[in-house]
């Protein structure tokens, strides 16, 4: 019965035959402007950077809104709550961008895969927290947007019970969104992006990433 060492000789022989039959499409190299291609990590960094830039604009706009409406307590508080969320999102996206730029695939596998998985966990948590805080703070966001764009004060004459009810609705929205993602995530759309977001929200991707990190640590141990 052959074992791994005995099969190595057959593996080598197979390799020699493969070397003769494998062809690298050199024309593709000549046709492709290799200097213009971006690796997947670099694209991740670019998108994270662009998103961070957008959130930074929101941070600045909200800061300005707070300064102008300091005397209107409800609006200022709403804008402050939205601003804290925006600052959190900006920081998380800058961390993602820095993380992606820092990874060097030429490094040792165990260490690099830990970095990749940690970055994945950061992405998932950013999405989960974005949806969570977006759901909880949807009334403040709406109030600031309505006043900022249309000059309509949502709080003027608003029933406190209505406001409380909507905050509670927002609190319930996150677990509901997670449940829907878990149950119907695969059917939500054919787009891999939508499916990925659904899995991120459902938590299955986070569990998988944390399990893989644990496996990496076990792999490194003797």
Partner 1 sequence: MPEDQERFQALLDNHRGILYKVCYSYCRNRDDREDLAQEIVVQLWCSFRRFDKRFRFSTWMYRIALNVAISYARRESTRARHMISDEARILTAADEAKSQPEELGLLYRFIERLDELNKALALLYLDGNSYEEIAGVLGISETNVATKINRLKNSMKRELRGNR
Query: Which residue's entry shows tokens 């730029």?
Result: 101
Residue for token pair 């490094």: 107
Looking only at residues 23 through 82 of this chain, which bind partner 1 when binding is defined by CB under 8 A? 23-26, 28-30, 34-35, 37-42
The candidate with the shortest Cα–Cα distance to 63, out of 101, 90, 35, 23, is: 90
Does residue 14 belong to the site contacting partner 1 (CB under 8 A)?
Answer: yes
User: Is residue 112 within the footprint of partner 1 (CB under 8 A)?
Assistant: yes
By beta-carbon proximity to partner 1, the closer residue of 51 and 205 is 205
Alpha-carbon distance of 34 to 59, in angstroms, equals 38
Rg (CA), the chain: 25
Q: What is 138-192 written as a DSSP string? A: HHHHHHHHHHHHH---TTTT--HHHHHHHHHHHHHHHHHHHHHHHHHGGGS-S-H
Select 69 or 123, whichever has its Cβ closest to partner 1.
123
| Residue closer to partner 1, measured from CB, 106 or 161 | 106
Count of residues interacting with partner 1 (CB under 8 A): 58
- Closest approach of partner 1 to the CB of residue 55, in Å: 24
What mask, x for binding partner 1 by CB under 8 A, covers residues 193 to 222?
x-xx--x-----x------x--xx--xxxx
Cβ neighbours of residue 196 under 8 Å, at least 6 residues apart? Answer: 205
Chain residues in the site for partner 1 (CB under 8 A): 1-5, 7-8, 10-12, 14-15, 17-19, 21-26, 28-30, 34-35, 37-42, 104-113, 116-117, 120, 192-193, 195-196, 199, 205, 212, 215-216, 219-222
């Amino acid at each position: 019965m052959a074992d791994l060492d005995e099969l190595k000789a057959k593996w080598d022989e197979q390799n020699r035959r493969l070397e003769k039959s494998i062809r690298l499409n050199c024309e593709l190299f000549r046709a492709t402007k290799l200097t213009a291609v971006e690796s997947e990590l670099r694209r991740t960094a670019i998108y994270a950077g662009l998103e961070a830039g957008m959130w930074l604009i929101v941070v600045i706009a909200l800061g300005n809104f707070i300064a102008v409406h300091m005397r209107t307590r409800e609006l200022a508080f709403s804008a402050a709550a939205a601003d804290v969320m925006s600052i959190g999102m900006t920081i998380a996206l800058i961390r993602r961008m820095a993380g992606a730029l820092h990874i060097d695939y030429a490094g040792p596998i165990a260490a690099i895969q830990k970095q990749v998985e940690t970055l994945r966990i950061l992405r998932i948590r950013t999405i989960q927290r974005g949806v969570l805080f977006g759901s909880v703070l949807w009334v403040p966001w709406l109030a600031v947007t309505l006043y900022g764009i249309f000059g309509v004060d949502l709080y003027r004459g608003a029933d406190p019970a209505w406001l409380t009810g909507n905050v509670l609705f927002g609190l319930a929205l996150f677990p509901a969104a997670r449940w829907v993602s878990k149950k119907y995530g695969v059917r939500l759309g054919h787009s891999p992006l939508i499916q990925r977001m659904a899995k991120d929200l459902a938590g299955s991707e986070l569990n998988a990433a944390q399990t893989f990190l644990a496996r990496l640590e076990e792999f490194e141990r003797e």
